[in-house]
Copies of this chain bind each other. A is one copy, B any other.
């Protein structure tokens, strides 16, 4: 399944608890779109959050993030990985 990196730009001050809660909300419903969220990395200082997933499409990733209340600002297919 293709991999995607999505990016959130405005999560300044995000805490470990908030990141975990957001990730768990995604995990709960991800199966409805065939998405598998793998990891998320957050920089509370700049507000950037990066989420790595496997999914059928960028739109499927975004639909899950929208339904859980944190739409991504960018969703990129990342077909090349090292």
Question: How far is the CB of A61 from the nearest CB of chain B, in Å?
Answer: 13
- Measured between beta carbons, the chain B residues less than 8 angstroms from A39 are 81-82
User: Given A5-B50, A50-B5, A50-B50: A79 and B43 within 8 A (CB)?
Assistant: yes
Interface flags, A1-26, vs B, CB<8A=1, else 0: 00101000000001110011001000
**A→B interface (CB under 8 Å):** 3, 5, 14-16, 19-20, 23, 39-46, 48, 50, 52, 74, 76-82
Interface pair B77/A45, CB less than 8 Å apart = yes
Residue from B41, B43, B76, B79 in contact with A52 in the complex, judged by beta carbons closer than 8 Å: B41
Contact call A23/B82, Cβ cutoff below 8 A: yes
